Structures are given as structure tokens and as C-alpha cells.
Amino acid sequence: MTDRPLKDETLLAHAGNKPQANFGIVNPPVYHASTILFPTVAALEDMIKDKIGNITYGRFGTPTTFALEAAVAPLEGADHAIAMPSGLAAVAGALLSFLRTGDHLLMTDSVYGPVRSLCDTTLKGLGIETTYYDPLIGAAIAELIRPATRVVYLESPGSLTFEVQDIRAIAAAARQAGCVAMMDNSWATPLFCKPLALGIDISIHAATKYIVGHSDAMMGLVLCREVHYRHLKTVMHGLGYCAAPDDCYLALRGLRTLSVRLARHQATGLLLARWLAERPEVARVLHPALPGDPGHALWQRDFGGSSGLFGLVLKPCPPAALAAMLDGMTLFGMGFSWGGYESLLLQTKPETMRSARGWTPEGPTLRLHAGLEDPGDLIADLEAGFARLRACA
């Protein structure tokens, strides 16, 4: 081998794999553990001197956890990944690692709803003030940074409204002011966006989505450089976070096929987005990879591809007509968690969760996840749905 850096697809197949440590078995086994035994007092004392990365107690991770973490980190050029029990736990743990009473948090207005609730309840109760900012603010974020601002948080694109943020400009302003920049990168996955290379300090994943990829396990990941790792781990340990070994195994198994699944999610997503953009019932499609999308230029600059999740705004229609469309879908399920192999179609209400930049859609906003089904079958299902909608309109 030369020193040529390995491409993502190769890393997906090999990173974190140590078959010779397990009788040559390709996949690392699921190690369940609470108790870890030490052969001698000296060995015990040696191991517990530094709990980070050592196998001393089940909650601190087992070789299954470490295999997942080692496989993910290099995909984003991170020094470390930390497995968390859910995506929301990853967000909460990262925020609580850097925010203290009296601190100020700048949060994108397009953030995933439960993160907003966390800010407005638990963080507020701790005396941490949140200002929601316009996701399209770009370099002007600098004007919102105060002496007390500790964290600037991005989610790009926003997972309901799909605005693309100027990651580089926001991260640069945060760095200039000595703040920690965090970004939820669940939509793009580690394959289509590399936040740390764009100036972000902490990259966060709801690995429940595309990394697990099979709609069956909850998992979060926090990726960082060396400088933040020990601090993050210490806080996560203190809070008792612990990703379950079976779920780490499923996440690692999902990760190995991420590139082939994502290529299909991307292709079908684009095909459906283009088809929907031509429909008379649709006011607009919210998909940054479409050339007409307001976020297209930034997406092209900072992302290597698009996943299968996007939005659409319908022309005004009665609620009963929308219900007739959605209730009768046969292939598109109605569910919140996306990133699995199956397609989803759901009404969302971003207008109820915005304070900095309003969301004034022409009609109902929907979110579509393009699964791995045959695209022609999906279009037929949508076509029949629109026929039901028209029949009731």
C-alpha cells in the first residue's frame, strides 16, 4: 500500500475491524458487560487510573462500542467518536459538556424540535439562555455573539425545512469569538458532509437514521478532535450515558453498507423530488440538490451528495383531502424516524416551532423519505395519493 489516503468506501469496509482479535471472525462480537474482573490489585489500579478508553466497567464501553467508534471517526477526519444511546442524547450530552449557568447558546431556528424543547426547558432551568437565529444568517451570526456565548449550534440542512446554512462562515465567526461550534450532521451522514473540515468543532449524528439504516435501533454519535475528547468523555461518563452493545453492533453493521444504501436513497430522492416539482398539487419542493433551491450553491460547495430526506409544500387543500392522500398510501409509511430502507411521507408543522425566521407555507408542509423500493412503484403510490387528494379537494 502507498500512503494514499483511503477513500470513504474503503474505510467503511475496513475501519475499526480487528478480525484477528476475535478468532478471525469478521464482525466484532457483541460484548455484554457490567462487571469487568481484574486479576490483581496492581492490574486494577493500573486500569482505573484512566477510565477513558480502558475496559474497566460496562458503562464505559466494551470492545463492541470501541469498534463502532473507531470505524466512524476517520470518515469525518475526527480523532474520536463517542457512541451515545440516541441522537438526542448525543445533542444533550454535547451541549451539557460546554454550557454552564450564565452561558448563552446560539441555536438555529431550524433545529430538530426536541432539541428546542431541551433548550426551552432543561437548559433554561439551568440558567442557560438560548437565542434562536435565522438559519440563513451566515457571517452576520457574529452580531449575535455576546461575551457569554459559549456554543453556536447548526443543523444543516434543517431536517423539516431544509435550509442550508453557511457552515464555514458561522463556524469561522464562532471560532473567532472563542465559542464551540456544533453541528447536527444526521441528514448528510459522514459520507456527504465533513463538518470538522469546514470549521466545526463537534459533529453530532442521530445514527438511528442512515447509519443504523434499518429502522430498528437507537444510536447517537459525537465526533471531535483530540482537544475536546477527554472533556466530552468525562461529562458523558458523569451523566451515565451508555450506548447498548447490541445497538452498537447494529450501527456498525449498518455502517458497512452505508455508501451503497445512500447512493440509492440519493438517486430515488432526486427522482421523486424532480417528479413532485412538476405536479400541479405541489407549490414547491424543499431539496437543496435541486438547482432552483435557495440553498443549492451552499450545498454544492460544502456537501458531497444528498440523502433521501426532503420536504415539499403543497398548494392549499382541505385537511380532509390531505388525510385522504396520506391515510391511503400503501408504500409510504407515516412515521417520524427516517433513514431506514422504507419510504415515509408525513405532514410536518414547522410553523409551530419557529421564532427567528417564520415559516409561512402556501399549504401543508410534508416530509418525504425516499427508501430503497423501486422508484416507479413509489411514483405510482404518490400518483394514487394525489388522485385521492384531488377527489376530496
Ligand X SMILES: Cc1ncc(COP(=O)(O)O)c(C=O)c1O
Largest CA distance in the chain: 77
Whether 249 sits among the annotated catalytic residues: the reply is: no
Contact status: 248 vs ligand X (CB under 6 A): no
Told to check if 337 binds ligand X by CB under 6 A, we report yes
Which of 108, 208, 307, 348: binder of ligand X (CB under 6 A)?
A: 208
Catalytic residue among 51, 57, 59, 381: 59
# of chain residues touching ligand X (CB under 6 A): 13
Q: Does 70 bind ligand X (CB under 6 A)?
A: no
Contact flag: residue 353 with ligand X (CB under 6 A): no
Compute the least distance from the CB of residue 389 to ligand X, in Å: 26
The single-letter DSSP state of residue 297 is H
**Minimum gap (Å) between residue 90 Cβ and ligand X:** 8
Residue 110 · residue 135 · CB < 8 Å = yes
- DSSP-derived 3-state class of residue 131: strand
Q: Least Å distance between CB 338 and ligand X?
A: 7
**Annotated active-site residue in 8, 103, 112, 233:** 112
Among 31, 66, 98, 112, binds ligand X (CB under 6 A): 112
In the list 72, 152, 193, 218, the residue contacting ligand X (rule: CB under 6 A) is 218
Question: Of 266 and 307, which CB lies nearer to ligand X in the complex structure?
Answer: 307
Our answer to whether residue 261 is catalytic in this structure is no
From 109, 134, 166, 184, the catalytic residue = 184
- Amino acid letter at 334? M
161 near ligand X, rule: CB under 6 A:
no
Count of all residues that appear for the chain in the document: 393
For ligand X, give the closer residue by CB, 180 or 389.
180
Q: Is 229 left (phi over 0), alpha (psi -120 to 50) or beta?
A: alpha
> Alpha-carbon distance 256 to 206, whole Å?
17
- Round to whole Å and give the CA distance between 93 and 266: 30
For residue 311, list its beta bridge partners.
286, 367
Does 209 participate in catalysis according to the annotation?
A: yes
Among 116, 209, 233, 388, the active-site one is: 209
159 binds ligand X (CB under 6 A): yes
Q: Which of 309, 314, 307 is nearest to 284 (CA)?
A: 314
Contacts 24+ apart (CB under 8 A), 285-293: 285/310, 285/311, 285/312, 285/313, 286/161, 286/162, 286/310, 286/311, 286/312, 286/313, 287/162, 287/311, 288/157, 288/162, 288/164, 293/162
274 among known catalytic residues = no
Give the binding site for ligand X (CB under 6 A).
Answer: 86-88, 112, 155, 159, 184, 186, 206, 208, 218, 220, 337
Q: Which residues are catalytic?
A: 59, 112, 184, 209
